[in-house]
Structure 1
Amino acid sequence: MNILAIETATEACSVALIHGQDIIARSEIAPRRHTELVLPMADALLAEAGIGRHALDAIAVGRGPGAFTGVRLGVSLAQGMALALDLPVITISSLAALALEAPEDEGAAILAVIDARMGEIYAACYRRDDNGGLIALDDDRVCTPESLQLPDAPTWQVVGTGWATYSTLLSERFTGVLRSADGARYPQAAHVAELAMQEFNAGRIHAPELALPVYLRDKVALTLVEQGRA
Structure 2
Amino acid sequence: MRKFILVISTICIFALLVALNYLLWDSTNMENEINALLTYKESSNLNVELLQSENLEIKNENARFQSTITNYTVRLQNYENTIEKMEEELELANARIGERDIMVDFLKKIMNTKIYTDVIDEWVTSINEKEYNKAYQHQKLRDAFDTKEIIGLEKFKSFFSNIERLDLKSTEINLSDMKRISNQEIAYTAIIHVTKKTQEESNTSNTIMYEGPNRVVIVFKYNEQNDDWYIYQMTFYKYNITDS
TM-score by length of 1: 0.23
Q: Which structure is higher in helix share?
A: 2
Q: TM-score, normalized by length of structure 2? A: 0.22
Whichever of the two has the greater Rg, that structure is 2
Greater RCO (Cα-Cα under 8 Å, separation 6 or more): 1
More strand by share: 1
